[in-house]
Structure 1
Amino acid sequence: MNRQIICALDTPHLDEAIATVRRLKDHVGAFKIGHALTLPNGLEVVERLRDAGADRIFLDLKFHDIPNSVALAVREAAKHGVWMMTVHITGGPHMMAAAAEQARAFGEETRPLLVGVSVLTSLDQHFLTEHLGINRELEEHMVQLSKLAIENELDGVVCSAHEIKSIRAAIGPRGVIVTPGIRLAQGDTHDQKRVGDPGQALADGADYLVIGRALASSPDIEQTMAQLGMTR
């Protein structure tokens, strides 16, 4: 098993997600679920996946609302024993602090990790500047938001492979870095603009790598893990 690999369950079908968990639970360290699976099935899906063998669940709902609403969302999600969850850093310091306070209420051993999202991997510099009106360079923008996240008691951040080095230098060793958009050398990028290689991402300072279709649809998981350079 490679504990640094998180398999994304990008499906609305619970039976399919359960089958994937059963097939991959001895190879990866966690499973990521988002709106596609939780909206039709509810947060009870966490228990169903845990029963199938998913020891750690990464709940990727990217909470972004007023502080009280996000605090309530974190509390309810934490009741289901999720391992990690996401919030948008642009919700601001008060929102992040409220989320962190709710997470801490569950105790150091059982509380969820909170990681902040700054710029989605589906966005690039053109969109950031021309459509959102943000004049900073994308990487500089992400570094500044990542520092803000750690200053406001989040456990870490999400970033693409392109920004790992700069963000690791900015937040130091204590912040967790989760990197999506990891692909096989010949893999499709799908809707993501900023993708990367698993070995380089880890070497640059990522703690966890999120891999979706390459694992979930693999006919030979051992071979795929070898191609990713992630066998242990």
Structure 2
Amino acid sequence: MNQTIYLSLDFPTWNEAKHFIDQHDLYGVPVKVGMELFYREGPDVIEKLKQDNHAIFLDLKLHDIPTTVRNAMKNLARLEVDMVNVHALGGSEMIQAAKEGLLSGSQYDTKLIAVTILTSMDHTIMNNELLIQGNVQDNAVRLSEFANRSGADGVVCSVHEAKRIKAVCGSSYLTVTPGIRLQDAETNDQKRVATPAFARKNGSDILVVGRTITNAQDPKKAYNKVVEEWNCGAES
């Protein structure tokens, strides 16, 4: 089973997510569980997915004071998922606290991933609304650098920053990249998107793929196409 391509289970209920997996024979593929599904179903959804041998990226993007994040991560660690994340904009002390919570909550090797700049954002939003100066790529690299020093195992970034982040943080530092689209798919609300082959060539380690699969006429075929394009990126 491919452990690199994570399918976003962006469904409001477990019954809908389970139906999608069953209907399209996606048993055992790595999955991302986000706020929508986790806040409705709670930890039970994680246990059900683990019973079916799915690797899990729990995408809750924690962003709070260090003590709260430490205690939350201590609880999440007991779920023994493969990856969890925080917002890098929470600062180095918060990231350090998240790591401490993970390590104290379980011996399982859950990777701590820091979110840099959301792929739904572009320079205009970042500069004019958030009042963060500079360009998206430079800020994503800067956030990755201090997240690395603070104990994160990698970052969520766009494909377009992955290679630079690897150069600064090292080849083993994980780059988890959403905004993945097949060549003929719509971009929807994502601003910084890329194909799987481009992602592989540009330094991505793990892809997070949602609507290009879930909105496809044949989701299993679309998932396999993502894997095929990813492999082509490695070969070329």
- TM-score by length of structure 2 reads 0.90
AA matched with 2:174: V
Matching of residues 130-145 of structure 1 within 5 Å: 130-145=128-143
RMSD over aligned CA atoms reads 1.8
- Cα deviation for residue 107 of structure 1 reads 5.5
| Structure 2 residue matching 1:55: 3-state secondary structure | coil
Question: Hey, what does 1:73 align to over in structure 2?
Answer: 72
Alignment deviations for residues 84-138 of structure 1 (CA, whole Å, 9 cap, x no partner): 1110011111111111112123555x13111000110110001111111111111
> Matched residues in 2 for 1:132 and 1:231: separation?
34
- Mean alpha-carbon deviation: is it higher for 41-50 or for 2-11? 41-50
Q: Please tell me whether the aligned partners of residues 78 and 111 of structure 1 are also in contact (alpha carbons under 8 angstroms).
A: no
Alignment deviations for residues 62-91 of structure 1 (CA, whole Å, 9 cap, x no partner): 000000100111111111122111100111
AA matched with 1:57: I
Question: Hey, what does 2:83 align to over in structure 1?
Answer: 84
Describe the shift of the 1:36–1:107 C-alpha distance in structure 2 as closer, same or farther (beyond 3 A).
closer
- Cα deviation for residue 204 of structure 1 reads 1.5
- Cα deviation for residue 54 of structure 1 reads 4.0
> Matched residues in 2 for 1:231 and 1:91: separation?
32
Q: Please tell me whether the aligned partners of residues 21 and 49 of structure 1 are also in contact (alpha carbons under 8 angstroms).
A: no
> Matched residues in 1 for 2:166 and 2:129: separation?
28
Matched, 1:98 2:100: no
Matched, 1:60 2:59: yes
Q: Please tell me whether the aligned partners of residues 21 and 54 of structure 1 are also in contact (alpha carbons under 8 angstroms).
A: no
- TM-score by length of structure 1 reads 0.91
> Matched residues in 1 for 2:105 and 2:57: separation?
16
> Matched residues in 1 for 2:229 and 2:4: separation?
9
- Cα deviation for residue 24 of structure 1 reads 1.2
Alignment deviations for residues 40-76 of structure 1 (CA, whole Å, 9 cap, x no partner): 111221112223x243111101000000100111111
Which is helix-richer, 1 or 2? 2
Matching of residues 187-226 of structure 1 within 5 Å: 187-221=185-219, 223-226=221-224
Which residue, 142, 157, 160 being the options, matches 1:159?
157
Report the identity percentage.
Answer: 38
